[in-house]
Amino acid sequence: MSRACFATILALVLALAFGTGHAHAQADFDRPGGDYQRLAVPSGDPAACALLCERDRRCRAWSFNYPQEGDGTEGAACWLKSSVPPRVEAPNNVSGVRGAGVVERHNNAVETSIDRFGGDYRSFAMAMPDASSEACRKACEGEGRCRAWTYARPGYTGRSARCFLKSSVTPPRRRPGLISGVVR
């Protein structure tokens, strides 16, 4: 077998094994349907939901819901599914299939599940429905003193969403339910 043929076969096998589009859990997507169990997630971490699915033989897919201000529930929820329903866009959700890790957005503007602890000079509650990491980032950009920001989803630092504006850039630390960014 020639090297070119071997390389082509290897690439095909890897593509089939790892696939595209469905290999990882995705933020801001839900998989409605197929639910057989709802579990509270006290840590508020979507990775905990993925792990619950891994440990349950019936589980084929899962959806994680961040706590929402005013939705009548207490805390984050994990829905285990006996099938793999198609995913649909849904803010404040993370979903995946069994065997997939949680992949959250991390780019130059948004750091999901990251806290930039310390350096706060001001914080404020954010009213729904306008509460978002984007609104927090814009508040930071609008103040000359602000160098970084952290947005806390409802239920993570209190019942309401909260925006923390920072006068210094501190090291990132993993913390579910928080979204951070550096602007200058």
- Domain 111-182 in CATH 3.50.4.10: yes
The H-assigned helical ranges of the chain are 3-18, 46-54, 133-141
User: Using CA atoms, how far apart are residues 177 and 43, in angstroms rounded to an integer?
Assistant: 9
| Per-residue pLDDT band at 70 (split at 50, 70, 90) | low
**Which has the closest alpha carbon to 18: 103, 87, 100, 85?**
100
Q: What is the pLDDT of residues 153-172, one digit of tens each?
A: 888 888 888 999 999 999 99
Q: Does 111-182 match 21-103 at the fold level? A: yes
CATH architecture of 21-103: 3-Layer(bba) Sandwich (3.50)
Entry pTM = 0.65
Of 12-16, 93-97, 123-127, 131-135, give the lowest mean pLDDT range: 12-16
What is the Cα–Cα distance from 122 to 111, expressed in whole angstroms? 20
Q: Which segments within the chain are labelled E, that is strand?
A: 25-30, 35-41, 61-65, 76-81, 88-97, 102-103, 111-115, 120-126, 148-152, 161-166, 173-182
Domain ranges of the chain: 21-103, 111-182
